[in-house]
Copies of this chain bind each other. A is one copy, B any other.
Amino acid sequence: MKKLINSPDSVIADALRGMAAAHPSLAVDLENRVVSRAGGVMAGKVGLVSGGGSGHEPLHGGYVGYGMLDAAAPGEVYTSPVPDQILAATKAADHGSGVLHIVKNYTGDVLNFRMAAELAEDEDIRVVSVVTNDDAAVEDSTYTAGRRGVGGTVFVEKLAGAAAEEGADLDTVAALATRVNEATRSFAIALHAGTVPAAGKPGFDLAENEVELGVGIHGEPGRERGTMQPVHDLVGYALDVIHADRPIAGDQLVMLNGQGGTPLIELYGAFAEAVAWIEGHGGTVARSLVGNYITSLDQQGFSITVMSLDDELLRLWDAPVSTPALRWGR
């Protein structure tokens, strides 16, 4: 697989240079690999930090800005960032009222963020971590690593970001983030695996009539291999799994997300199926996102993330946001 890169080693550094040049609203620390807001922030605002492996763009750097994150720490492709880097992001995000770490549930992310939090506390920055784990494809159990954090992370960043912007304190923002995570479920299906630059070939091979059901965001195989179906059936499968795990009822926030290599025209078609399914089950799609919001490089496929809305969550979703990847209301 050809990649539009200089070398696998320079992918992150090159991309960060590009982000810095493309977005004057971002401050990009190329040395520490931290993306933070260039503009001023209301003193006393709770800081929001996220991060994780790269390859999921626009997550997380594209969500730094008013109403969402204060800083992001991008690791190597599909590899969590290191503690010092997360510490640097935490310092960049600290406005005196503590910092929320939004961590996707992967052993590497959890451990590196935990170490960074310890380092931050040594420097008298209070850190609370919220671990997202919205992937309904994975059996949850206390004996395992548990569920993965996937698309729901975007919702957590948006809604917690809005609460922080409104002046909520660290514990309130953390409690909200937890509530959002709990109200959210995702499921993903891949048609063709993405290619990590260092690997140079797709993470798994699928025949013309095969799909991977229940994939994560790291090009890993899913929970089972299935047969290629019309998008109506694939979307139905995904929503059936989510619905069985946490019933879909009432007003929903729905993200129909592309994995990086699927045309937008197909994502709109998939979204039409999702809306039909949800309305057919008595729910309502009150708000939505359709596009590439949490990707797996050039993987082909989609994920659906569904959250039950209440008045507070709806208000926070509609609150102004101004980041490279999500922008409305200002």
By a beta-carbon cutoff of 8 Å, the part of chain A in contact with chain B is 1-7, 10-12, 14-19, 21-22, 54-55, 57-58, 62, 77, 191-192, 194, 206, 208, 211, 228, 230-232, 234, 256, 260-273, 275, 285, 288-290, 292, 295, 297-298, 300-302, 327-328
Contact = CB atoms under 8 A, between A and B. Distances in A.
B21 A295 contact: no
Given A14-B272, A327-B327, A327-B328, 19 more contacts: A2-B211, A2-B300, A4-B191, A5-B231, A6-B232, A7-B230, A11-B266, A14-B269, A15-B266, A15-B268, A15-B272, A18-B256, A18-B268, A22-B268, A54-B265, A57-B263, A261-B263, A262-B298, A264-B292
A263 B55 contact: yes
A147 to B, nearest CB: 24
The copy count of this chain in the complex is: 2
A288 B21 contact: yes
Contacts of A17: 268-269, 272, 275
Give the one of A15, A17, A54 with max B CB within 10 A: A15
A11 B292 contact: no
A192 B4 CA distance: 11
Nearest to A228: B2
Contacts of A11: 265-266, 269
A206 B269 CA distance: 29
Contact of A268 (B3, B14, B211, B273): B14
A330 to B, nearest CB: 8
Contact of A5 (B12, B62, B269): B269
Contacts of A285: 21
Contacts of A264: 57-58, 62, 260, 292, 295
Contacts of A228: 2
Contact of A263 (B208, B211, B297): B297
A230 B19 contact: no
A330 B260 CA distance: 28
A254 to B, nearest CB: 9
A13 to B, nearest CB: 9
A299 to B, nearest CB: 9
Contacts of A260: 261, 263-264
A293 to B, nearest CB: 10
Contact of A18 (B3, B12, B275): B275
B208 A4 contact: no
Contacts of A211: 2
A2 B234 CA distance: 12
B5 A208 contact: no
Nearest to A232: B6
B261 A302 contact: no
A297 B265 CA distance: 8
